[in-house]
Structure 1
């Protein structure tokens, strides 16, 4: 992981100085994992952080001190230093206005947290505007960058696991907020998805973004059941994917992958069963570093982005359609 030969370091600004901007890594400074924008830029030899933007003066000062950032501003309009990449880490309700303000600005690429905005029509308009302007837009559906999940996608694409049959997945904290992560990840692993039906709603108090049980399907018609759970009890993000050649489980928020290929049953002659399987790290703890590396390579040599405004929009449009469906009861 190094800058392209002869290239200068890319200058990044971070807009919003909360948890995903740097707070998760600040809380555990001894960890080797890279969970935030600030730590990813600091670790990557091809980047430097030119400035941050945060209206809370105390938080801004603490963020600058922790990450060694030379300039800080209360608002994006005040930024007076050059930059190549802008990370959008503000609350979702502020995404649209921030993305719109960055469009005519100096950033060569914008790296936005998900979802793009809190309104699908406005997200569509933002994506189309960035495409017209020729300005790349990367969106942090970070599992698309995790090395182990990228490797798994290749295994599935090569037919190593046989035909996909069906899947079940569990999530918490809103269909758009967290469910979209699964819809995007499963689209990455299995190809485009389309809606089937919406089932019940979890009583977790999320009136603005309900946690819904939904069913989607692959292009070949294989069903995927996305099931919501109550976030007030615990957080959950896990899945089981069944193929003709075995079972793949994503556990611990997809930080771990369990592969169980089909084998001969050790007990019953003539039967096939799942092997004990092995658990491997998915690389998700370093996906933010992989993301900024992908961004650097995109700007330096045209390497395609793994997660774009267009792929993020597809996940949000699917969420919006599922949210609009009436509940189907057995």
Structure 2
């Protein structure tokens, strides 16, 4: 059985991020992921741009439409992907559910810049009996899931202290790493603003300390115009984790007895590099979504989990 998919929004994440790249190595867009994954059947794309629609049809030999209403009149998808700009997420969801009843909606992150809209999205899906998932891609990455297993087993002991560097806005990109910390360490309990930072458009970039169930994390904002900087360092009683270059390099060092002074412990110079698969990030999301739809264990972010992230980030924003 395959699940039929309609993609609303054929921009970077919807389609263009991996056009021209080797499909055997790079699966960064929804279009390529749902076209290639055997659990899904790509039915159609939606975008108001004739140029984008033409590119979609040429790349995937599937029909495209200018509006969701047209696409959902012609097709009955099991899955609808919402990959339009964040400010249009709620409207796209409302249009989708006015015209169809898919099994599930996969929405781009963040759900919304506004908590009330995010609540409306989760409530609307619940009332329509439609499952809502959010595209926080790192949850589906093998390295991130391996770290979660090590945390659960105690191999990476808690409590932890750590630093998260993010750039390009608290909601836009910082939410990726806030969601990741909640996935690894549990719900945020308290926070403290360290520096109010600046506004990048309407998206704040504060520095703040957050306390999660499994530890205390300092979030620091970098300047995206200088360079993208997405890095995590977690210090555990049992060692140190480095999540560098946005997750492209993930390294664990265990705490061991010092070879020179066995009474002391040091970090092992032998690094355990944990395999990631970020070059196929959207394939991994499709894989986890298939697991969820088939009733199997899945690490994909649910609508309620994404709503929790928006609620906490809104509290932080309102405190600035």
Q: TM-score range by the shorter chain?
A: over 0.9
Q: Tell me what 2:150 maps to.
A: 155
Contact 1:214 1:226 (8 Å CA) reproduced: yes
Q: What CA distance in whole angstroms lies between the structure 1 residues aligned with 2:23 and 2:151?
A: 36
Q: What CA distance in whole angstroms lies between the structure 2 residues aligned with 1:294 and 1:68?
A: 26
Correspondences of 1:1-330 after superposition (within 5 Å): 7=1, 9-29=2-22, 32-69=25-62, 71-79=63-71, 80-104=74-98, 105-203=100-198, 206-219=200-213, 222-276=215-269, 277-301=271-295, 303-304=297-298, 306-326=300-320
Deviation at 1:179, TM superposition (A): 0.9
Q: What CA distance in whole angstroms lies between the structure 2 residues aligned with 1:273 and 1:303?
A: 37
Q: What CA distance in whole angstroms lies between the structure 2 residues aligned with 1:281 and 1:233?
A: 28
Q: Deviations over 1:66-112 (max 9, x none)?
A: 1222x111011112222111111111111110012223423211111
Q: What CA distance in whole angstroms lies between the structure 1 residues aligned with 2:86 and 2:51?
A: 22
Gaps of 5+ in 1: 1-6
Q: What CA distance in whole angstroms lies between the structure 1 residues aligned with 2:24 and 2:230?
A: 22
Q: What CA distance in whole angstroms lies between the structure 2 residues aligned with 1:266 and 1:300?
A: 50
Contact 2:134 2:300 (8 Å CA) reproduced: no
Contact 1:200 1:212 (8 Å CA) reproduced: yes
Contact 1:195 1:321 (8 Å CA) reproduced: no
Q: What CA distance in whole angstroms lies between the structure 1 residues aligned with 2:241 and 2:155?
A: 12
Q: Secondary structure at the match of 1:99?
A: helix
RMSD: 1.7
Q: Secondary structure at the match of 1:247?
A: strand
Q: Deviations over 1:208-233 (max 9, x none)?
A: 0021111110136x321000001110
Contact 1:147 1:287 (8 Å CA) reproduced: no
Q: Secondary structure at the match of 1:258?
A: strand
Q: What CA distance in whole angstroms lies between the structure 2 residues aligned with 1:179 and 1:144?
A: 14
Contact 2:139 2:299 (8 Å CA) reproduced: no
Deviation at 1:29, TM superposition (A): 3.4
Q: Secondary structure at the match of 1:11?
A: strand
Q: What CA distance in whole angstroms lies between the structure 2 residues aligned with 1:233 and 1:304?
A: 37
Gaps of 5+ in 2: none
